[in-house]
Amino acid sequence: MKKTLLLCFIHGFKGGEDTFGAKSEFAQHLAALLSAALPKVDVRAVTYPKYETRGDLHECVSRFRDWLLERVIDIEVANGTPSPTVDPSVHTILVGHSMGGIVAAETVIALANDKPIPHSEDRKPGNGGGGGEERQRATSPEGLNGLMFPYIQGVLAFDTPFLAKRPIYGIMGVWGQGPDAGWQQTACGSSPCPRER
């Protein structure tokens, strides 16, 4: 089965393909570097078309997600992937600038929180909702979806104001003002950063 790495570029506020997209020098250089490093993988770059940068963020994320899903399904079909949700041939890296980084991060959060629909046998009374090994693989201990589709390999965000939207998006090094009124580095992982009191 042919493997594909899809670089999906998402512009920022009032931007478009002309400001941050697959045809830019940066995107072409990134795709060329990845193609050289991964010779057995088909590296492709796409740009999310210009979108309205005002209104409800969840609607914007939903429209982006639907657009991305269509692109990934088209590639999965072309690759002849037998089971794209269990063993996807397309791995996507979302590359966002400014608000595009927020759209990318919110999309990953939404996909990770999707719950797989249980098999009809799992829902029968008295069956205990089992499902065996396959069901255990579908959700992680944190309750997140282990069968993310489309599969997002990673997010690259440039000039993205993550702290303006949510306290943390898995930022590894955040600078913040501590109680001693001096700036200090706070290491953060997947849990929220400590807040000032």
Structure tokens at 136: 């255990």
Domain that holds residue 42: 3-162
Asked if the structure places residue 125 within a domain, the reply is yes
Asked if the structure places residue 95 within a domain, the reply is yes
Give the total number of structural domains in the chain: 1
Asked if the structure places residue 178 within a domain, the reply is no
Asked if the structure places residue 110 within a domain, the reply is yes
Alpha-carbon dihedral angle through residues 139, 140, 141, 143, given to the nearest 10 degrees:
-60
List the single range of 10-24, 72-86, 162-176 with lowest mean pLDDT: 162-176
Residues 13-31: tens digit of each pLDDT: 777 777 788 888 888 999 9
Residues 145-159: tens digit of each pLDDT: 557 889 999 999 988
Asked if the structure places residue 193 within a domain, the reply is no
Strand partners, 174: 186
Asked if the structure places residue 104 within a domain, the reply is yes
Residues 84-137: tens digit of each pLDDT: 888 899 999 999 998 899 999 999 988 888 766 565 554 455 544 444 444 333
Asked if the structure places residue 196 within a domain, the reply is no
Q: How far from each other are the two terminal CA atoms of the chain, in whole angstroms?
A: 54
- Which pLDDT value is given to residue 9? 94
Asked if the structure places residue 171 within a domain, the reply is no
Quickly state the pLDDT bin for 163 (edges 50, 70, 90): low
